[in-house]
Structure 1
Amino acid sequence: MTIEANTAAGLTTEQLAEELAHVSTPDTLSTPFGDFEFFDGVPKPDSVQAIFDGLDLVRGITAFLNTVPGASLVAMRRGLRSVGVDSPDKIAYTDPRCTSTPIFLTPNTETTYGVTFLDLKAWGPTVIEAPPESLCVVDDFWFRYVTDMGIAGPDKGAGGKYLFLPPGYEGERPEGYYTYESPTFTNFVVIRALGGVPAIKQSRIYRLSDAATAPENTFVNIGEQAFNTVHSNDFSFFEEIAQLVAEEPTTALDPERAGTLASLGIRHDTPFAPDDRLRGILDNAAQIAAGMARATLYAARDPQSFRWEGSSWKEGFVGGSYEFLDDGARNLDARTLFHYAATVITPAMAHARVGAGSAYIYTAEDADGALLDGGETYTLTIPANAPAKNFWSIDAYDTQTRSLLQSTAYPAVSSLSEGVQAEDDGSHVLWFGPTAPAGKESNWIPTLPGKSWWPLLRLYGPLESWFDMTWRLPEITRQRA
């Protein structure tokens, strides 16, 4: 074989120099982590550690933003264990409804919930008997959807027996159950029944091996107990994630997120023991990432976040996908936004139907674009003919904890609130501030001077005017003296 010279015209000296510039690194590179020094593309010894510190910081930030869902459930389980809900046969519930005392991500004050965790490693195959006319959800420990039970589930609200199997299960799969194999041993169970507390107490959770003689469940009222279920925003966040990774099989998490965590020393079957250098970097990473998460929540930049053009009211589920998928790509900001503010993943929340389910919007600013200040007084008008088959409600939340604002036991007003006043045209004017305007107490939600707050509107059974956008919620208006 012969080698022939290339007779085509090559690059000029100037063009070649330009091409090399695109593939080269300068000898001094200024970065947010400081100046990195190189000798002809090779990091100088004095810069190597700074470069790796920067890499660890970036990966720590990425790990935080991408694993908020898992940390949220680790914290939820820890909080429930602190009040005695420490096994699957113990079910926490709020009677008559949740108050602002416990720290939960955006609970509402209108409905009664039951919550617990399955432990498929300790219990093996586990049965849940869902009560009739219920809205129940099971999510895995990484906060991924497993199934609905009840009205949105295969039993269609008739009630039914659901069997949950641990990952890799190879045993018997008996008939008579709606059967699901979970990717994780731990699973989050949420029970909501239209019949309230008595209906929730019809729920049963037991080992499959005890099906013939299942023991009674224990129900623990947590509505007014003080405890925390919200994940950390500092180094402790990574300890929460390390606990999850240690407990669950390696198949439970996708390789990319698992690889990011492994690069920080968080691996299955390996103790998480960062040295002082990495510990400090991860503490910084968590605080930076938490700030970024707060920006995605309170100051969203995705146009899909906004309910109406020119409005500050935002959607909690951006894009309408419970998996946060947008044309085959994961919307990472949407996932972080949702899980930093809320709990429970189900398609029923992402795809409300006319007259069924719930719709949610929120804001963190007033009509002038200013942040909401607990020392100021504001009004919000709920226009007439609100598109809610059942009722609407507004709850006020603490911007730090994303939990109910602790200005009163029930910082909320709904169309069903006792004494709530309507205007002559059927609208409702709501008031927010540290003191109630005279005669407006029934339409007032107290706020706390020195603290910000944010409201969330829920529409139970949203109607057609919600979906066709003909009903619009105006902005919150600050009242000036």
Structure 2
Amino acid sequence: MIRLSAVSAFALAFTLGSALGQVLPAELEAISIPDKVETPIGTLEFFDGVPKDATISTVYDNLDRMRGVEVFLDNVGAVSMYSVRTGLADAGAKGANKIALFEQLMDSQTLVVTANTSTLYAYTYTDLANDGPTVIEVPPGMLGFLNDAWQRFAGNMGVTGPDKGKGGKYLVVPPGYDGAIPDGYFLLKPSTNRNFMFLRGSIKNGLKPAVENITSKLRVYPLKDAANPAATEFVNMSNKPFNTVFASDFSYFESLNKVIQEEPIDAISPEVRGAIAAIGIVKGKPFAPDERMKKLLSEAATLADATARVITYHPRIDGVRIYPDDPNSVWSTAFANKNTSFEADGTMGLDARVLYYFNAGGVTPAMAATHPGQGSDYGLAVLDSNKQPFDGSKTYRLHLPKDVPVNDFWAVTIYDTQTRSQLQTSQPFPTIGSQTDGMTKNADGSYDVYFAPEAPAGKEGNWLQTVPGKSWFTILRMYGPLEPWINKTWRPGEIDLVE
């Protein structure tokens, strides 16, 4: 006896039924398409399920545009890292042994997503394909890490690394390296060639000794030159107007293509490579889209940028709000659920990844591991207490209750909503806090911080300038946060509109 599967039996019944002129089974409606369908991308027309010419082009345009949006959002980390590298190179810090050092700290002339004025930054990029295994001699007292070309965590250095803040030699080896590993090094094995080194020096005891610690002890050189390395150069990036923020137009995809061409093919999964290849970016091949594809990718970049901004200001994922039990609080964190890999239970948090990479740079688990009295922790306020965008023509107030729980200091920095970098005003360092000269306490020991185009009378020391016609957002940084911040028994006020 011949046995038919359920699908085969259905197909046979359908064929016989059609031949006999019987009414089609109701189930066919679920697997068929009408000859004309109204959709969000227009009217689609078919002849008995076969797409007509106009429908073919409309659907493919939509597919290519959707894939462009997907590729943009899924690779923000990579394009952001590329933009930082090229921005530093344009400003004179090109090459692994040329360290970008903000000797007078970072002011608002420099466009770096949510960087701050309170930290001594030192940056560089490895070029393992050219230099081979590379040595990084880290000074004592540093806080640092290495990220790969997709801005994925590759290892800590300094206080949170294996040298535990005592300083030490790190060896960064290329992907697939099988050569000898000499003794005396802490080993880092990133999956890419171009890797971002981030070091942060504490200025708790003053800026000058922090700069001297870095310039006298930080060294970067190829392992092959260890016997006689070239001098490490330090390029002062302070007071320089340059841009490290990625574009949100067609050039975004040109930047991504540069990353794909530079890095090993297996730096990303076949699935991710497939999405990127679907829009014409393939390792070893030129990226040469025609005018149609350029138009669609330009539209995709606009849609993706809009999507990232919606996710930023109105996230719909859990773990973003610092005070989730208070529906009226807008204070949030950049790392949803304090998860710096964005992955949990075998699932990538796509929106969480976009939320962070669109608005910040550099990833290490140490950023989300809060220890009483150590490191730092952040609170973001991207909307006012009425959940409305901040208006640069108006006056707002942030109230910080007495006994702000920090071991070191606290600081409030204001940012431009377009660039996500420090807001450019007549205040070159748009930050105030417990270390600010002229900052005054209220009678009860609390603080009020004002955001306005002009300082309220008598509040000049507690004022951050805004720009009429522009929006802004702010970050409260807690350096050495104490238990009341961590357990949320102390919390900042919402940012209220005064007038």
Q: TM-score, normalised by structure 1?
A: 0.96
Question: Do structure 1's residue 394 and structure 2's residue 412 form an aligned pair?
Answer: yes
State the Cα deviation string for residues 349-400 of structure 1 (Å, max 9, x = none). Answer: 1222222221112122211222101111111011112222211111000000
| C-alpha distance in 1 between matches for 2:172 and 2:166 | 19
1:216 maps to which residue?
231
Q: Which residue of 1 aligns with 2:494?
A: 475
Q: Secondary structure at the match of 1:442?
A: helix
Partners of 2:397 and 2:496 within 8 A in 1: yes
For 1:256, the equivalent position in structure 2 comes to: 271
Equivalent AA in structure 2 for residue 277 of structure 1: R
Provide the residue aligned with 2:212 in structure 1.
198
Q: Is the 8 A contact 1:191 1:200 kept in 2?
A: no
Alpha-carbon distance in 1 for matches of 2:409, 2:27: 64
Alpha carbons of structure 1 residues 25 and 473: separation in structure 2 relative to 1, 3 Å: farther
Deviations 1:62-83 (A, max 9, x none): 0000000000011111101111
CA distance in 1: counterparts of 2:222 and 2:75, whole angstroms: 30
Q: What CA distance in whole angstroms lies between the structure 1 residues aligned with 2:289 and 2:158?
A: 45
Q: Does 1:373 align with 2:360?
A: no
Give the structure 2 partner of residue 464 of structure 1. Answer: 483
Task: Check conservation: 2:321, 2:333, Cα contact below 8 A.
Answer: yes
Match among 339, 345, 366 for residue 327 of structure 1 = 345
The farther-off stretch of 125-134 and 250-259 is 250-259
Q: What are the Cα deviations for residues 22-72 of structure 1, in whole angstroms up to 9, with x where unaligned? A: 222232232332222122222112210110000000000000000000000
Three-state SS of the structure 2 residue aligned to 1:163 is strand
Match in the other structure for 1:267: 282
> SS of the counterpart of 2:198?
strand
Of the three residues 25, 38, 48, the one matched with 2:46 is 38
Letter of the structure 2 residue corresponding to residue 242 of structure 1: N
Determine the C-alpha separation between the residues in 1 that align with 2:296 and 2:331: 36
Look up the equivalent residue of 2:374 and give its one-letter code: A
Q: Evaluate the alpha carbon distance shift between residue 18 and residue 200 of structure 1 in structure 2; reply closer, same or farther with a 3 A threshold.
A: farther
Match of 2:205 in 1: none
Q: Does 1:361 align with 2:379?
A: yes
> Are the aligned partners of 2:397 and 2:450 in contact in 1 as well (CA < 8 Å)?
yes
Q: Aligned with 1:262: secondary structure?
A: helix
For residue 236 of structure 1, what is the aligned residue in structure 2? 251
CA contact (8 A) 1:319 1:326 kept: no
1:279 is aligned to 2:294: yes
Do 1:135 and 1:193's aligned partners in 2 also have CA atoms closer than 8 Å?
Answer: yes
Q: Contact (CA 8 Å) 1:250, 1:268: kept in 2 or not?
A: yes
Q: How far apart in 1 are the matches of 2:381 and 2:29?
A: 46
Considering only aligned residues, what root-mean-square deviation do their CA atoms show, in Å? 2.1
Q: Deviations over 1:82-132 (max 9, x none)?
A: 111110110011122110001111111111100011100111110001110
Match of 2:322 among 307, 316, 336: 307
> What's the offset of the Cα at 1:416?
1.1
Q: CA deviation at 1:2?
A: 5.6
* Maintained 8 Å contact 1:359/1:460: yes
Question: How far did residue 334 of structure 1 move?
Answer: 0.7
Q: Could you tell me how far apart the structure 1 residues matched to 2:4 and 2:118 are?
A: 82
Give 1:389-468 correspondences, 5 Å limit.
389-407=407-425, 408-468=427-487
Report how many aligned residue pairs link the two structures: 478
Q: How does 1:27-176 map to 2 (within 5 A)?
A: 27-176=35-184
The residue identity in structure 1 corresponding to 2:159 is I
Stretch deviating more after TM superposition (290-299 or 188-197):
188-197
Equivalent residues of 1:111, 1:196 under 8 A apart: no
Hey, what's the Cα distance between the residues in 1 that align with 2:198 and 2:5?
73
Code of the residue aligned with 1:153 in structure 2: it is G
Give secondary structure in 1 for the equivalent of 2:248: coil
Asked if the contact 1:24–1:41 (Cα under 8 Å) also holds between the matched residues in 2, the reply is: yes
| Aligned AA (1:439) | G
Q: Tell me whether 212-221 or 67-76 shows the greater mean CA deviation.
A: 212-221
CA contact (8 A) 2:318 2:336 kept: no
Matched, 1:19 2:27: yes
Q: Which moved more, 1:25-34 or 1:407-416?
A: 25-34
What is the TM-score with the length of structure 2 in the denominator?
Answer: 0.92
Q: Which runs of 4+ in 1 moved over 6 A?
A: 13-16
Q: 1:5 to 1:277 in 2, by over 3 A?
A: closer
Identity %: 42
**1:380-436 Cα deviation digits (max 9, x unpaired):** 011112222211111000000000000120111111111211112221100111001
- Per-residue deviation at 1:196? 2.1
Do the aligned partners of residues 356 and 41 (structure 1) sit closer, same or farther apart at CA in structure 2, a change above 3 Å counting?
A: farther
Deviation string, structure 1 residues 183-221 (Cα, Å, up to 9, x no partner): 111000111122521122121101101212222211111
Paired letter, 1:430: V
